[in-house]
Structure 1
Amino acid sequence: MVRILLLIALIVAGHMARAGGLTGTFASIDGGTLSVEDWRGQPVLIVNTASQCGFTPQYEGLQEVWDTYRDQGLVVLAVPSDDFNQELSSAAKVKEFCELTYGLDFPMTDITHVKGRKAHPFFQQVKAETGFEPAWNFNKILVGRDGAVVATFGSVARPNSQKVLSAIETALN
């Protein structure tokens, strides 16, 4: 029995190694889905966001990062979440707020859980692999071209700070 379990574990581990990196499909704020796998080969900056938070002005920095690096292959993905009770009541309101207030045009998910037992599988996988779980709004996860987490940043790290930009530029090169 132990041999069978060991064999199954090796097969699963081998499959995961071949699949490589983080996975997950999100509901898009525009309808349809957004798949992390679609961006394999590109660095992705994933940020859990909220519209009524003291860190909400970081949307400006996220748009600046998107504008600066998207032609080099960077994807910025905002994941609105009400896990900290600071998000608007619907995805439609979030989308309208972000477009009108900040002129955002990078991909966004529907309102999504990012922590705890209800967390989206992507965030559960990040926590299992790195120990990182969003502690507040505007935590940032930089995923490399290979789908592995390259760096994580807390809320106080502005998206256009030298620390975050250095990690992004390294991931792009």
Structure 2
Amino acid sequence: MSVDGEGYGCAVDLIHLSDGDNSFRVRVLGRRMPGVLPLHDLLDTEVLIESGFVTGRLDLGLFPDDLDGWSHALDVLAAGGDVCWMDDDRSPEIRFQALNEEHGTPAVHVEDVARSGISVFLPLCLEDGWIDDQRRLLQLVRREWPSEVLRTSPGAYEWRR
């Protein structure tokens, strides 16, 4: 964890995949609107991509459902499947391959059609146990920023007790 300069406090990686040459991270910076219903649980994050060829950064907002989706994506990857996470109109599409046949490694493909129109493909030579490492990061994010807002009906929210 590190302290950033934007008043968020501690930034925590939700996803960190790196092989020394290529790196893909989703870093949680903090709550977007702490104390304000219903946006209290919305987390400001950034997608960070680094390779010898390209370096990029995208802003991203995550709701608790998105964290649940990442948990499900990890289950699919652990079973050897490919998965698309964050495939909605408000976010870049992020696809993960448990094994890209051309490169013989896991791979990440990020496509930001809505904003920049840029697409990046990263093959990553990851160590065994990388999925378990991502599960630990997810648990850390959930401990740091637990869901505190409950949707009681469409358009109605209250604090969890």
Q: Which TM-score tier does this pair reach, normalised by the shorter chain?
A: 0.3 to 0.5
Q: Specify which structure has the higher proportion of helix.
A: 1
Calculate the TM-score normalised by the size of structure 1: 0.32
Calculate the TM-score normalised by the size of structure 2: 0.33
Q: Specify which structure has the higher proportion of strand.
A: 2
